[in-house]
């Protein structure tokens, strides 16, 4: 499969610090697009389709550090949401040839259908170095000619774009009404070299209530693959509604998903979780991933802060304090939890990012709760942390707080899984 022939429309990316990167536009070209957003980079060598459709990238221009992107095309299965979530896409070289038996279209056509502009031929190494040294910043991507929109005007537009700090972006990506999720990992489940899932050894199916802050589909697939009946609900569901569902037997576990934006700005969900995980609600088995990890921390009274350039990629090393093993994980976030504030509220750090020693996971010794900053569902990425879904099932089974010691005793033996 070959990509469309000529991609000869000039494009530009301007950053708020005044730098301008030139390239060739692809995707939604000839539409006079000028999209402002936070510019971030991803260090993965594969999985660009999953990254583009990850709701956590909503409101961001995504830069891939791998030099060649698009060579496996796009298919209908490897998507994490209903559409492309990134505001723009920047690559060093767009592959002109697509070679994969699973591909149904090429990357340029896919972006065009989703109304997203891409920029090819950019020195992404220089761009990434600038973002690492100066920190992520707002930028604007466009295919509007310089005669109509100057570099200075682009830079000014980037400087005036809304800041990610204080931005509640969850309402843009979460569901508006409850829905049932039943899709499992399918044939991919058979390729995982793991023990029989804990759920299959139980006489009953656990019902999981999943708060949708921008959930990736593969997270929901992993829950369903463990035999859980998953109901996805809006992020602003009330605490009273959550408690009613648990008291009536409509739910056995609570899951809080990944999502975009500043966690401290998601006020409604934080208030709900504060009520649910405290007082009479502390007996509800709860598991959070990425933004869910941050929201649970804030609900307990801990603090979050913005990282200089975040963690985005599928090669992030994390030390598992439960097993003493190093796990290679998939991550996508720009905020982190303050470890000292976690300790003050009685939580225990269970995982640490080895690149910068930020918190990558925590559990509470007195409450049925644990969370991780990374993505155990991978997609894309390694499956080292997939056992955490089994840990959630274990917690719903035992109905006991795990904590650091409990996790080591009851879950540590599960260990990471590998792909055959």
Which amino acids are annotated catalytic? 290, 375, 377
247 membership: H or E segment, kind and range: helix 239-247
Tally Cβ neighbours within 10 Å of residue 126.
11
Closest CA to 308 of 165, 408, 199, 198: 165
- Residue 242 and residue 249: Cα distance in Å, rounded? 11
- Residue 374 and residue 156: Cα distance in Å, rounded? 35
| Beta-ladder partners of 219 | none
- Residue 320 and residue 287: Cα distance in Å, rounded? 17
- Residue 3 and residue 96: Cα distance in Å, rounded? 5
- Residue 109 and residue 312: Cα distance in Å, rounded? 25
**Residues with Cβ < 8 Å from 125, sequence gap 6 or more?**
65, 92
Q: Which residue has the tokens 């605490």?
A: 239
- Residue 105 and residue 107: Cα distance in Å, rounded? 7
Please give the backbone phi and psi of residue 49, each rounded to the nearest 5 degrees, phi first.
-70, -45
Closest CA to 253 of 85, 129, 392: 392
Tally Cβ neighbours within 10 Å of residue 368.
23
- Residue 405 and residue 156: Cα distance in Å, rounded? 53
DSSP codes of every residue in 399-412: -S--HHHHHHHHTT
Closest CA to 187 of 217, 221, 219: 221
- Residue 223 and residue 259: Cα distance in Å, rounded? 17
**Contact by Cβ (8 Å): 69, 42:** no
In SS3 terms, 137-170 reads as: EEEEEECCCCCCCCHHHHHHHHHCCCCCCCCCCH
């Amino acid at each position: 499969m070959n990509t469309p022939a000529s991609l000869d429309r000039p494009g530009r990316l301007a950053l708020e610090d005044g730098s301008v990167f030139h390239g060739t536009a692809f995707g939604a070209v000839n539409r006079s697009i000028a999209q402002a957003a936070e510019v971030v980079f991803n260090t993965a060598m594969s999985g660009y389709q999953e990254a583009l459709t990850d709701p956590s990238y909503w409101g961001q221009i995504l830069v891939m550090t791998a030099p060649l992107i698009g060579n496996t095309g796009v298919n209908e299965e490897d998507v994490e949401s209903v559409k492309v979530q990134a505001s723009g896409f920047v690559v060093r070289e767009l592959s002109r040839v697509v070679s994969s038996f699973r591909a149904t279209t090429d990357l340029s056509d896919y972006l065009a259908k989703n109304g997203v502009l891409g920029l090819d031929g950019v020195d992404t190494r220089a761009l990434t170095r600038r973002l690492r040294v100066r920190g992520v910043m707002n930028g604007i991507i466009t295919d509007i000619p310089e005669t109509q929109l100057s570099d200075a005007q682009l830079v000014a537009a980037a400087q005036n774009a809304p800041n990610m700090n204080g931005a509640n972006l969850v309402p843009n990506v979460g569901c508006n009404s409850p829905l049932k999720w039943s899709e499992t990992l399918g044939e991919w489940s058979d390729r995982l070299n793991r023990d029989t899932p804990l759920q299959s050894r139980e006489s009953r199916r656990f019902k999981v209530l999943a708060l949708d802050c921008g959930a990736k589909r593969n997270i929901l697939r992993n829950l369903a693959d463990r035999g859980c009946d998953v109901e996805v609900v809006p992020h602003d569901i009330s605490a009273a509604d959550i408690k009613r569902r648990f008291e009536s037997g409509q739910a056995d576990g609570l899951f809080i998903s990944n999502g975009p934006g500043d966690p401290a700005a998601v006020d409604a969900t934080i208030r709900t979780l504060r009520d649910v995980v405290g007082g009479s609600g502390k007996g509800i088995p709860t598991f959070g991933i990425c933004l869910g990890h941050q929201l649970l921390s804030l609900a307990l009274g801990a603090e979050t802060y913005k990282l200089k350039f975040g963690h985005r990629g599928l090669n992030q090393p994390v030390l598992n304090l439960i097993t003493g093993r190093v796990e290679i994980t998939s991550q996508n976030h720009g905020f982190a939890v303050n470890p000292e504030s976690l300790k003050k509220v009685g939580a225990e750090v269970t995982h640490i990012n080895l690149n910068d020693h930020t918190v990558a996971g925590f559990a509470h010794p007195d409450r049925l709760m644990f969370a991780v900053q990374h993505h155990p569902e991978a997609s894309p990425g390694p499956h080292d942390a997939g056992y955490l879904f089994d840990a959630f099932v274990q917690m719903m089974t035992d109905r006991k707080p795990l904590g650091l010691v409990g996790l080591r005793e009851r879950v540590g033996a599960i260990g990471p899984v590998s792909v055959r």
